[in-house]
Amino acid sequence: MQLSHSLTIDSLGACQGISWLNGKVYLYGDREVGMIRQFDMQGDSLVYTGAEYKLTLHDTDVINHPTGLAVHGKDPVFMGNSVLLDRATNKWKAIIYCIDWPGLQRTGTLDGGNLLNVIEDDSLESGKAEVAGMVDTIDRGDELEGFSFLSTLSRGVAVTSSRRGNVNFIDINW
């Protein structure tokens, strides 16, 4: 595994994750509200398509710290969220949201019935990292926030919460 190159993508807040879906890259972050931005791969760069989805419901920040997006064909789509309960004790709670992905893409928010269900995950109370339905629900406190393979298993992207060099292309030789 070798770092190919890094990019700085702004306007995400702290980048919290990446997903490669149907030939598009989705980066999500915790700007003033939780949000997702869509990018095209062009050569060794990401080009913002102009599509942005705010994880809000009636202008309220619902998924404020998105930690994972699970999309598997026509199955329900889930997104994880880490919620800080107590800064002094560093106590967190994870929440998993079932969302209408096509609806979110169509309207740009969780309004209009795009938030289908909410599952609270208390596994963070015991300090364990849990994955529910392959949705990452924990913020580890380090800068590495997510990884996704691109169109092949020989290339991937790792994202960090750093303000610079937050998107890192990686070549993988198995």
Cα–Cα distance between 120 and 81 in angstroms, integer? 10
pLDDT in tens, 36-81: 999 999 988 999 999 999 999 999 999 998 988 988 888 889 998 8
The predicted pLDDT at position 168 comes to 93
CA 15 to chain centre: 8
Kindly report, residue by residue over 129-165, the tens digit of the pLDDT.
334 444 444 555 567 888 888 888 899 999 988 889 9
Domain ranges of the chain: 12-142
Non-local (6+) Cβ contacts of 145 within 8 A are 14, 15, 16, 17, 67, 139, 159, 160, 161
What does the radius of gyration of the chain's CA atoms come to, in whole angstroms? Answer: 16
Comparison of pLDDT for 148 and 84, the residue scoring more: 148
> How many CB atoms are located within 10 Å of the residue 37 CB?
21
State the pTM of this model: 0.85
